[in-house]
Amino acid sequence: MEPHNQDQHKIPQVYLKKFGYLNDNNQWKVSVLSRTEDFSREKSIGSFTIEANVFDIDSDDPRIVRMFERLNGDLENQYNSIIKDLDDSGTLSDNSYAYLLQLIGNLIVRSDYWKETVSDILNTDAKETFLNIIIGHHCKNKEEFIDLKNQPFFRLLADSNVPEVINRVLLYFLDHLMVRLWEFEIIIVKAQEGKSWWTSTNPIVVHNRTDKFEIMAKDSELYFPLSPQYLAYLHFPGSADKENNLRKLGPNQIHEADDELNSRIQQLILKNPAEFVICAGRVRIRNGEFIN
């Protein structure tokens, strides 16, 4: 029997530990910077980004209530094997590639930024158009798509208050993202010595790069600090846009960053909308300056 109230992590502990450290009391901590402060704070990994029942789904069926959180746990369990794969072989195996794509989609929909973005869309006249986009690929033909808005599950999402259905919608959104992401290539960029990647509470940097009402278009790019050492860069190989030299690198392999690339990517991470930037290791900052 699952507890009525369950602490659920928006950012996985197993991921945070790669960026964290053990303090003098043998407790796992992480150094973070709030967007509204000019000094760093020390947060306990065990309680950082925790919220009770944040991924619960409003349902009378107990099998459905914790579906989102069980998915989170299943994907988190594969994280260390992805890192080990890179450490041991220097490449992403087919298995690690598949799990990494799923983990990236999962971390997108778990973030406060994307939850708020989707909630905002659902509170506009574009609600049903958005739902059509993220669900419509399941339809077998044009007739099913035309009738989609009349289906009971669609009406539940469209007619309920947003807070009551947001987690259901996020799972459909994840499904929609995965349809796109399965077509993307992954390139691993290794940080320079002494210049570890940082991350944030919105760990996936998404450059949507489209003027249309579309998410994850072919020109889109994603950056994911997989650990302080490794960063995953994703792009669609058939895109006509070749401005980013990363697109020319071989997929599923590790490539060393140079000064320019390391700096450019770190800036993208720091500018990505998020409540907290998460440093690599024990870092102390005051008035915007590093201190010993």
Contact 274, 113 (CB under 8 A): yes
- For residue 275, what pLDDT is reported? 95
Q: Which backbone phi and psi does 7 adopt, to 5 degrees? A: -75, 125
CB under 8 Å to 144, separation ≥6 — which residues?
none
pLDDT, one tens digit per residue, over 85-99 is: 999 999 999 999 999
- Confidence (pLDDT) at 132: 93
pTM of this structure: 0.94
Whether 209 contacts 219, CB under 8 Å: yes
Q: Which of 277, 127, 280, 119 is nearest to 205 (CA)?
A: 277
What pLDDT is stored for residue 64 in this prediction? Answer: 94
- How high is the pLDDT of residue 137? 86
Beta carbons within 8 Å of 278's beta carbon, 6+ residues apart:
11, 16, 19, 30, 31, 32, 198, 199, 200, 201
Low-confidence ranges of the chain (pLDDT < 70): 1, 209-213, 240-242, 292
Give the model's pLDDT for residue 9: 97
Q: Which of 55, 31, 60 is nearest to 45 (CA)?
A: 31
Q: How far apart are CA 113 and CA 166, in angstroms?
A: 13
Calculate the average pLDDT of the chain: 92
Give the length of the chain.
292
DSSP H/E element including 121: helix 112-122
Domain ranges of the chain: 28-290
With DSSP H G I counted as helix, E B as strand and the rest as coil, what are the percentages for the chain, rounded to 5? 45, 20, 40
Torsion of CA 40, 76, 100, 256, to 10 degrees: 40
